[in-house]
A and B are shown apart, each in its own frame.
Chain A
Amino acid sequence: MSKTSRTSITMPSTAKKGTIIEIRAIAQHDMESGFRYTESGKSIPRDIIRTFTCLYNDVEVFKADFYSGIGANPLIIFTTIATESGTLQFKWLGDDDYEAVNQARITVS
Chain B
Amino acid sequence: MNMKFDLPTKMNRRTWIQRIQKLTILTLGAWFSPAFVFAKKEDADEAIQKIASGAKIQDGKVTLIIPPLVENGNLVVLKVSVDSPMTANDYVKTIHVIAEGNPLPNVFTAYLTPRSGAASITTRVRLADSQRVWAIAQMSNGSFWQGSAETFVTLSACTEMV
Instruction: Check A36–B159 contact: CB distance below 8 A.
Output: yes
| Residue of A56, A61, A83 with highest tally of chain B CB at under 10 A | A61
Q: Is A1 an interface residue (CB 8 A)?
A: no
Instruction: Check A36–B111 contact: CB distance below 8 A.
Output: no
Task: List B140-162 residues whose CB lies under 8 Å from chain A.
Answer: 157-162
Q: Which residue of B lies closest to A75 (CB)?
A: B124
Q: Is B108 an interface residue (CB 8 A)?
A: yes
Determine the distance from Cα of A76 to Cα of B107 in the docked complex, in whole angstroms: 13
Binary interface encoding of chain A residues 60-85 relative to chain B, with 1 for a CB under 8 A from any of its CBs, else 0? 11111111111111111111110100
Residues of chain A at interface, number, CB under 8 A: 33
Q: A56: which B residues are within 8 A, CB to CB?
A: 115
- Across the interface, B117 reaches (CB within 8 A) one of A20, A37, A59, A64, namely A20
Q: Which residue of A lies closest to B109 (CB)?
A: A65
Q: Which residue of B lies closest to A61 (CB)?
A: B115
- Across the interface, B107 reaches (CB within 8 A) one of A37, A44, A59, A67, namely A67
Q: Is A33 an interface residue (CB 8 A)?
A: yes
Q: How far is the CB of A4 from chain B (nearest CB, A)?
A: 21
Given A56-B115, A71-B76, A81-B117, 5 new contacts (CB under 8 A): A61-B115, A69-B126, A69-B127, A76-B122, A81-B115
Give 25 CB contacts A-B under 8 Å.
Answer: A35-B37, A35-B104, A36-B160, A36-B161, A36-B162, A37-B161, A37-B162, A38-B161, A39-B161, A39-B162, A60-B113, A61-B113, A62-B110, A62-B116, A67-B104, A69-B97, A69-B102, A69-B126, A70-B124, A71-B124, A71-B126, A72-B74, A74-B124, A78-B110, A80-B115
Q: Which residues of B contact A (CB under 8 A)?
A: 37, 74-76, 97, 99, 102-113, 115-118, 120-127, 157-162
